[in-house]
Chains A and B, each alone.
Chain A
Amino acid sequence: MLGKLAFRNAKRSLHDYFVYLLTMILITAMMFAFDAMIFSEAIRELSSQAGMMGMMIGLLTFFVVLIIVWLVHYMVKFIAEKRSREFATYLLLGFRKKQVAALFFRENVLMGIAAFVIGLFPGMFLQQVITTAIYAMLETDYQIRFECSLPALAMTVGIYAGAYLLALLRNQRRFRKMTINGMMNLERQNEEIKTGNKSGRQWMFWASLAFIALFGWMMITERFNSGNIYVMIIGLGAAVYLLYMGLAAFLVAHVRKKGAGVQQGANIFVYRQVASKIRTMQFTLGTLTLLFLVALVGASWALMLNQFQNTQGDEKFAFDVAVYNQAADYDFRREQELIAKEAEPVDELVYCVYQNGTSDWNQYLTEHNKSAEEYSYYKYDTYMRLSDYNRLRAMLGAEAVNLSADGYLLQTQERFVKLLEPMTEERCVIGGKDYRFEGIETLGFEQGGHNGADYVLVVPDGAADSMKPFYSLYAAELSGEAPAQLQEALDEITIQAVPEGEAMMQYADMYASGRAMGSGEMYMSNAPAFVRDTQIREMKFMMTSIIFPLFYIGMVFLLVAVTILSVQQLSDSSKYRFRYSVLRKLGMKKKELSHVIFKELSLYYLCPFIGSILISGSIVIYMSMYFVTYSGVVAPVWQYFATALALFGSIYLLYFAATYVGFKRNVYEERARN
């Protein structure tokens, strides 16, 4: 009998809390898909950096577990409260508390298992989608192969069951403390809190708005430092919670003052409903806002990185093969032989970068480029011979440029053009002779330490002759794709080529080796040899290992937040049906009532969303401004946020629509029954 009861109750809960079930299914699917990434052969085959993705997913799993524990605990508590009278009935029938707790535990476990088992199937499918997407990003062919990885399954089961049990055990403790009388009155207590006329807390609303504005101002004007940033972040969290405490009071005050719009249509009803809901839900709303905030910031960041990996390959790794050596007279014969053996070079060039004993440009950049570090620039300013420059341009398929005998040009990246403009007005003296500035080129030119760090000055061959060779370079253009093992083979030679004792140092201390890397902080490498295809793939894989997990956590947070909003509203719609039937009796048409419901739901749904959009919006815009500076990706700063918002907003809208339909169904169904 008890088994049957648990089963029937679980079935009813599945129906009543369908949105919760759906979310648990989606979370299971995502959890399984991402856990499978850690153990996936397909991913391991793809890159030597596969462990990086595993590490990221592992790290984020910790937060996912926390949020699942919170969701399950919240829902179990919520369902237990809604069913308190029923539990009291069990006790009156002579059930022991332990038995009721066990019954409820069993129901929840049944629900959890149902969500998990159903979730595994979309999970397997999602795993394939993600793998295909990663392969597509790395421009590699992938043959779909359904695999159910046992370690991934074990990991997912472990995490899911652990989170579930943790949440349920917390609830069991609560159960033990309840009395029959307490349970009987629980519903009534909930309602008592909701009615309130207190408007004294309005100041909290204004105070927290002021704090959030201060936070934004400090961020934009760069006033954060290690001393105040943590205090301000904690303050921001607190302000979000205070905002809702104040908002309820603000709405109540607005109604009591009979402010604008209050006495229009059923607005007074809507405002009161929303105010009382916010009052009882203030803590949850605050938490939801923070969840949305993390979701939006995470997704925007992921989009930034995606943009980076799509555009920066050409900039960072312009040549099919490029090799650096710090010795100016280095002989690249071994490298050339290797490349000729392993691949099909179409064109190649051995050349030098020159120095004039000056470091004006580097000093200027060190001082004015915010993203510069001590290892960003060489000891001397870097120059290149015009004939070499034009040969390299030809390799990249660009037209040759001309210079007058006393002219020079600046080859740099788009993001430094403005910054370097003042330097072009300074005198440029080479071998006692003045050179005129004749223009800026922003071709993608491998300027992360090879063809200069961030910039190189192109001078006529005659001027270069009077300078000292600084370091030597080799560039090659290949026909077709570079073989996978080329990078490794090159690395072996180039590391040997570094004088003994310095090889270790080159990797251990970038500055000491004299090799500069430029200031693109998003992805840097101090390897002497770059094979474009391998490097781009490694870079993309590294970015992908961050992008997908970021979306993962963003999605989980979003789903949890919308589930709680939705379940709250749907259960209210059943509990407070009578309110809507009163409105109908007062003469409200069905269409008008639907409008009231829509308005009420929209206001309630907008609360946490608007708050988080405002805060995360300013954080993301600030972040993306920095991103543009550091990464060299030129894109409007709001673009990432808008895309993230559109993506998550549509999921939000879907849940909103489902809630609205369910809400109306609950309200009208009961009316029909009455």
Chain B
Amino acid sequence: MEELIFAEDIEKYYGNKNNLTKALDRVTFHVNRGEFTGIMGASGSGKTTLLNVLATVDTVTSGHIYYGKDDITVLSEDQKSDFRMENLGFVFQDFNLLDTLTLEENISLAMSLTGKGKKEIDTHTREIMERLGIWELRDKFPYQVSGGQKQRCACARALINRPRIIFADEPTGALDSKSARMLLETFIQMNEEMKATILMVTHDAFSASYCKRILFLKDGQIFHELVRGSQSRKDFLNEILDVLSVTGGDGDVR
């Protein structure tokens, strides 16, 4: 499988000389194109930091992150903006939708920034919204729809520019269990039908069981990796829970 991201020996320190926190401690791993990867770990294990540095939201203290041949740790601010626009999509726990725009506008804004034509934007926005089942809600504002619908809108926005990878940070955190399940189904749909590569950070074992591969983080280091392979989701969930019970993680099952 084609390699998409290669993180090489990355470190991220916070604080000063006297009080140094190693959020990421010499982490090395790769993500392949078309993968649905999960990152699990207890609070403070460094999973969100890892996602942030991969997504150019935060910088590394040392090490390199390659997208293909491009090292994103050496990009300037403006280059990072362009990189995010062309390559990345985001789905957050609290949706991060713009409340002054309708759902449709929230999605099309991301595409209009790339300078695409109106027709292409309209067609593509409609196509994505229909696929995710929110076309009927296109004229509603974020505060007029449910959490699950908001999150599907966020997914559509993340997908609109056909990014190389979608980052999801605790995407089910603010959803009820039914909406969470629907969102995870959507992720599967995005991954399998639209061939989207997804990297999801979660501390919830149930959500993680939808992934194809899981990296377990502890004290800033990767200490375990699980691959679902051909086993059922239920078996995979049990396997995840086993790992968590060994590490004393705070994972929960909905």
Q: Which residues of A contact B (CB under 8 A)?
A: 1, 4-5, 8-9, 11-12, 85-86, 88-89, 91-98, 179-181, 184
Answer whether A95 and B81 are a contact pair too, CB < 8 Å, given A1-B109, A181-B57, A181-B58.
Answer: yes
| Bound Cα distance from A179 to B112, whole angstroms | 23
Encode contact with A along B152-185: 1 for CB under 8 Å, 0 otherwise.
0000010000000000000000000000000000
Answer whether A94 and B110 are a contact pair too, CB < 8 Å, given A180-B57, A181-B52.
Answer: yes
Q: Which residues of B contact A (CB under 8 A)?
A: 52, 55, 57-58, 77-78, 81-82, 84-86, 88, 90, 94, 96-101, 105, 108-110, 112-114, 157
Interface of A is mostly: helix
Answer whether A97 and B101 are a contact pair too, CB < 8 Å, given A85-B96, A92-B90.
Answer: no
Within 8 Å CB of A181, what residues of B? 52, 57-58
Answer whether A91 and B81 are a contact pair too, CB < 8 Å, given A5-B109, A180-B57, A181-B58.
Answer: yes
| Bound Cα distance from A98 to B84, whole angstroms | 15
24 sample A-B contacts, Cβ–Cβ < 8 Å, listed by A number: A1-B105, A12-B99, A85-B94, A86-B96, A86-B99, A88-B96, A89-B97, A89-B98, A91-B81, A92-B88, A92-B96, A94-B81, A94-B84, A94-B86, A94-B113, A95-B85, A96-B78, A96-B81, A96-B82, A97-B77, A98-B78, A179-B58, A180-B57, A181-B58
Which residue of chain B has its CB nearest to the CB of A85? Answer: B96
Residue from the set A5, A94, A95, A96 with the largest chain B CB neighbour count within 10 Å: A94
Q: Which of A89, A94, A96, A180 contacts B114 (CB 8 A)?
A: A94
Answer whether A93 and B100 are a contact pair too, CB < 8 Å, given A180-B57, A181-B52, A181-B57.
Answer: no
Which residue of chain B has its CB nearest to the CB of A8? Answer: B100
Which residue of chain A has its CB nearest to the CB of B121? Answer: A1
Within the complex, what minimum Cβ distance (angstroms) separates B10 from chain A? 16
Within the complex, what minimum Cβ distance (angstroms) separates B9 from chain A? 21
Supplied contacts A8-B100, A96-B82, A98-B78, 7 more A-B pairs, CB within 8 Å? A1-B105, A5-B98, A85-B96, A86-B98, A95-B81, A95-B113, A97-B81
Contact: A94 with B100, CB < 8 Å? no
Within the complex, what minimum Cβ distance (angstroms) separates A567 from chain B? 19
Contact: A93 with B52, CB < 8 Å? no
Within 8 Å CB of A5, what residues of B? 98, 100-101, 109
Residue from the set A4, A11, A89 with the largest chain B CB neighbour count within 10 Å: A89
Q: Which of A91, A93, A184 contacts B110 (CB 8 A)?
A: A93
Contact: A94 with B85, CB < 8 Å? yes
Within 8 Å CB of A8, what residues of B? 100-101
Contact: A92 with B112, CB < 8 Å? no
Within the complex, what minimum Cβ distance (angstroms) separates A37 from chain B? 40
Answer whether A93 and B113 are a contact pair too, CB < 8 Å, given A180-B57, A181-B57.
Answer: yes
Within 8 Å CB of A92, what residues of B? 55, 57, 84, 88, 90, 96
| Bound Cα distance from A98 to B82, whole angstroms | 13
Within the complex, what minimum Cβ distance (angstroms) separates A433 from chain B? 95
8 cross-chain pairs, A with B, having the tightest CB-CB distances, nearest first: A94-B85, A8-B100, A89-B96, A96-B81, A1-B112, A180-B57, A94-B84, A181-B58
